[in-house]
Amino acid sequence: MRTPPILLGAVAVVCAVVVALSSVGPGAAPTPSGAAAAPAGPPTLLWPAPSDPLERTVEAGLKPAPKEYKVNHVHAHLDVFIDGKVILVPAGIGINIEDPEVIYFEDNGSYGGIVLCDQPCISPLHTHDGSGIVHTESADAKAHTMGQFFVEWGVELNETCVGEHCAPKPIAVYLGGELYKGDPRTIELTDQKVIVIVVGTPPAVIPSTADFSNA
């Protein structure tokens, strides 16, 4: 007896669903993809920008400046996930947002527009907004590191801890979608480097690219 076309279609749909579900079981590993392919809800502000940015700049071994210098002008991108949730890398890390020469742009929640402060107001390593872009705009060519940035952020970072989240909770670091096994503090913030820190349960997709068009 010939099987009706409608029944054949239904069987095909069921088979497709079974195959799809079998490929994303609870133990499935996250896969690298473009940044836009990894939505995980709105960012959570877990660690605000510190209120003493210039003191932390000095603690990080950097020198606050009255403006941004472009001898070394590069942009890296940082994503932080905790149990699959996006953690906001806040605007104003490394910037004295209270300085009258620092402009706040309400349309995109960013700090900048500095021509020249009367006194040091900005670290050569900083964030202007909450996009995850980490800016290096310094007067010397030496690369800055993730360790220095996290000192400025006021968040603990090492091979076993991110903030208050420590082993045995899993911690993984990815560079351009590839697993990185070294000390995350030593990662150099070179141009268009994409860094992802994952604590606990990973997101479904690990970003491997980022949008630097507005940096």
pLDDT in tens, 3-45: 444 333 443 433 333 333 333 333 334 555 444 344 557 899 9
Position 17 in a domain: no
> Does residue 39 sit within a domain?
yes
Say how many domains are in the chain: 1
Of the pLDDT bands very low, low, confident and very high (cuts 50, 70, 90), residue 201 is very high
155 assigned to some structural domain: yes
16: in domain: no
pLDDT tens for residues 165-190?
A: 999 999 999 999 999 999 999 999 99
Strands (E) located in the chain: 31-33, 72-82, 85-87, 103-105, 110-112, 125-126, 133-138, 161-162, 165-166, 171-175, 178-180, 194-199, 205-207
**Predicted confidence (pLDDT) at residue 100 exceeds the cutoff of 70:** yes
Tell me the residue range of the domain where 49 lies.
33-207
Q: In which band, very low, low, confident or very high, does the pLDDT at 68 lie, cut at 50, 70 and 90?
A: very high
Residue 115 covered by a domain = yes
- Alpha-carbon distance of 152 to 83, in angstroms, equals 24
Does residue 161 fall inside a structural domain?
A: yes
14 falls within a domain: no
213 in any annotated domain: no
